[in-house]
Structure 1
Amino acid sequence: MGILKKLPGGVRYPSYKEWQLLKKLPKWWLLGSVVFAAPIAYDWWQSGDLLAHDLERNSMFLGLLFTFWFFIGAAMIGLIVIIIMKGPGYVADPYYLPKEDKSLENPPKT
């Protein structure tokens, strides 16, 4: 048996918007990164030192940049989970409960 064995008769649901959104995420990531990093880059270009000029503003834009990256990553994880959930079902190894197998109900004491 291979690592993943598909469930016989499993239903695979059609994709709706998740693939379209997942394909747009790199563009959104790049565009958002440019938008939030542009003020920092401009400030560095003008003064040559980020710590010498308006540290609060640069810190705010760095925080916005990292927050934006977090939301893009969370959206990507959510879309991948949706894609996996809509895929075919897989069979796992059986786990026999003690009520089904009487020999497992009272294990020998050591």
Structure 2
Amino acid sequence: MSWLNKSPRSIRSPSGWEWRIWKKLPLVWLVGTLLPVAMGLVAWWSVPAEEGAPLDPEVMRFVFVMVGVVILHWTLVLTLAIYCGIVMLMKGPTYMADSYPLPDSDRPL
């Protein structure tokens, strides 16, 4: 006896945009992470630092904005991955669990 049984009348919906997006997500995540990190590092290293002198506030602000952009990008990619997973799950076959007789049903057994 299996845990879940496929419904005999179950049909699978054809795949759509979710698989195309799902396959591109690792590349989107990588490019969207590396580009702001590279921009922040270039800004950080472009300012000549003197011994004991604080870094330029404009450069610090730009680096913090790039960190925020990376975190925002990660949350957007994660949200899109969850969306694709839900759509793929909902387009799959229908499964039925075993019936569960209710003890307080309206009609007796």
Q: TM-score, normalised by structure 1?
A: 0.77
Supply the distance in 2 between the matched residues of 1:48 and 1:91 (Cα, whole angstroms): 66
Following TM superposition, where does structure 1 have runs of at least 4 consecutive aligned residues deviating by more than 3 angstroms? 43-49, 100-103
After superposition, what is the alpha-carbon deviation per residue over 1:84-104, rounded to whole angstroms, capped at 9, x for unaligned?
10000001132333225648x
Q: Aligned runs of 1:19-38 on 2, under 5 Å?
A: 19-38=19-38
3-state DSSP class of the match of 1:66? Answer: helix
| Aligned with 1:84 (options 77, 89, 97) | 89
> Is it true that 1:99 corresponds to 2:105 in the alignment?
yes
Supply the distance in 2 between the matched residues of 1:43 and 1:101 (Cα, whole angstroms): 75
Aligned to 1:67: 72
After superposition, what is the alpha-carbon deviation per residue over 1:44-97, rounded to whole angstroms, capped at 9, x for unaligned?
444598x84532221111011001010001101100110010000001132333
Q: Which has the higher contact order (CA 8 A, sep 6+)?
A: 2
Q: Which runs of 5+ in 2 are unaligned?
A: none
CA contact (8 A) 2:44 2:63 kept: no
The two structures, once aligned, show a CA RMSD in angstroms of 2.4
Q: Which runs of 5+ in 1 are unaligned?
A: 104-110
Q: TM-score, normalised by structure 2?
A: 0.78
